[in-house]
Structures are given as structure tokens and as C-alpha cells.
Structure 1
Amino acid sequence: MRSLKQTVIILIFLSTVVGLAQKSYTEESVKTALKQGFVEFVDDVRPAYSKGDTYLNFKQKALLGKVKPTSYILPPVPVEGEDLLKKAYQFLAANYSSKQLLENADYKVYGKAIMFIHNYSKNNNREVSDGEIALFGGNEQLLDDNTLIASSRGVCKWWQLSCHLNQIFGNGGGGQILQIIIDLIIILIL
């Protein structure tokens, strides 16, 4: 009986993996997903922006929740995270409508952030979630405790970029979906 249960579990797992591998992800579908992910990111960090904020004000509120005293040092953010925050700030400062945001979404900046997460987790033998945290300064407690943007609209937190991609492509694949589309992201962002 035990071997029957194990066989059934293995068959279910294999059918899931084969099903994911058989989905045909194209450059266009990945580009569209990256655009949608960027739009979700901008919408999720929108509460950290107030009209008239400088980029530094916005960044402090996105990473810390409140503007801290000048003696407080923001965690160092890698270039890919910095670029993504800057691009989101530009779109928020320009007060783009949802339609404008999707039409002009910067899929390359979002793709580079996804690549950072992938490379960080792969090169450091860490989880994807560790790469997402590293993308925005590496302090999970600061990110989790941010009351300004703690209530993301969906199941993903604002800084969980691969989770957003998983939601766009459909649940069930997680890291497998990310692995499948990495090659297409490389083609798109170069």
C-alpha cells in the first residue's frame, strides 16, 4: 500500500513538471509577463509615494516605512533594485494612469531585477526569497515591518517579484516557471 501511495505521488509530481515544461513560453509572453509584473510592482509601492517626494523620500518610505532621522543609514541596495525603485518613482511622479503604466512598463528593468534574484539564489545556494530580500537591501525585517506598504493587493508582498510572476503565469510552477523563462529574459534584456 505504501509503494502505491509513493507511486501516485511521483506520477502527480511528474505530470505537473511535464505540464510546465510543455507550456510554450515565448519571448512575447515573457515580455508581457514582465510588463505586468512591473505594473504590479509600481502599484504595490504606490503607497510609499506622496506628491512632491524626492526619490530619496520615496526610497526611504519604500524600504523603511517612515522617513527615519538623517543619522539612519539606508541598507545598501544593488544596482538592479535601485534601478527598479527609480523607474517606479519616475512613473509615480509622472502620475501615469493604469493604461499608461502598462503601455510604458519597463520590462527590461524588471527582467534585470528577476535575473539578479535568480543569480543571487543560484550563486549563493539560497532560496529565491533570499534573492528578493537582497534586491532591496537584505533586511527582511524592515521589508516585512513596513506598515506603509505592508498590505499588498494579492498574496505576494511588494518585494516578492518571482511570486508576482508565478501569479501571472499561474499557480503551481513557482521556481520551475522562473527557471523556464530565465533564458527568454536574458534574450529580452540584452
Structure 2
Amino acid sequence: LLKLSGLGCLVLLVLVAVLSVQVFQKAPTPPNALQNKSEAGGRSRTEVCMITSLLRYFCRWNGSAGHAGCKLCPQSWQLLGDQCYQVPKSTGTWMEGKKDCESRGSHLAVLRNTADMDKLTVWIGLKASSNIWKWVDNSSFDATPSLLNVENDCVTFVEKGLEYDGCGSNHKWVCQTEPFQLLSKTAGDGESFSACPEKPILQDSCC
């Protein structure tokens, strides 16, 4: 969960504002409220613009591509692609790394794309049992030639490649978790909140 830091407060502000807009849009209009339609529409537009500006800021702040949406990682985690990663300072066995990641509400990294990972020797969530390799999420893995005929070992990520090692060896490990996805549009009106990455600052006007 996000800690209530400045970033966490802004996220809560976005969610409260989005829910306010949704409730306002779905609430029935009483007969005596027609005269206030113009004022209400103005307030709604102001709220939408505020949310748009916040989403625009966060999309750029993460350095994410437009298709990734506004994704936020917990404090001290790093967004790479569409997942959040963290390398704890501790070292230990594969099982110790697995338990540590689980205690953080995450799991050992399931690396589908290793292009962005640093040059570290770290445990990842891949383990062999009776010559069958599986990720910690129970998905299968087609073993590379270097990992064939390995009965009961674990895998480290080294120099952007995979190497097997005894599960009792000591290494750092990489934890992985899902990012927090900010809403991309308000319910009911279909208006998209687009990112404007050319200006990574909060702006007063909508796109």
C-alpha cells in the first residue's frame, strides 16, 4: 500500500475527486435545481480539469509511455515496463528471498522482459523441481540450454542472463508487485483523460 506521503496524499486526492465527479453525474436532478444547471456544470468541468491535470502530471512523472497509463509504485519501488520492482538490501537463500518478498505483499520477480534490469546477481522467482521449471506464480518456463537437465536448483539473474545455482546460496533478490493504476476516465461521460508528456508539470487548463 502507498504510504501517506506527499505522493500518497495526491493519489487520494485524485480518487476522491474522481468519485465526487461520478456521484455528481449519477445523482438525480431535483426539479428546483434546473436554475443551478449552469453553475453545477461549471463546477463539474473544474473538477474534471483538476483530475486531468493530476493524471497528466503522474503519467509524465513516472516516465511511462502513453499506453501504460498512469501507474504508480509503492514508495521505494521502481516502475519498469508495467510492473513495480524492488531490490532489498538483504542477502540470503532463494527461500529467504521468497518469504521476504511475500512479507512485502509481493513475490520474487517473474521476468518476462529482462532488458531494463540492472546488472546484478539476484534471485528471481524461477525454480526447478524434477527437471521442471516453474515461476513462483506457477506459470511454466521453457528452459534455455544452460538450464536443461537441472533437477532441483534455483535461478539467478546475472548480466541480463539466467544462471542456475544451489537454492541455499546467498544472493540478493528482486521483488515484484502490481502498480497502482490511476483511473483513465470518468464513468458515464466517456471523456478520456489524456497524458500530455511534453510538459511534466501541473497545468491549469485541460488538454
TM score, norm. by length of structure 1: 0.26
Which has the larger Rg? 2
Larger strand fraction of residues: 2
TM score, norm. by length of structure 2: 0.25
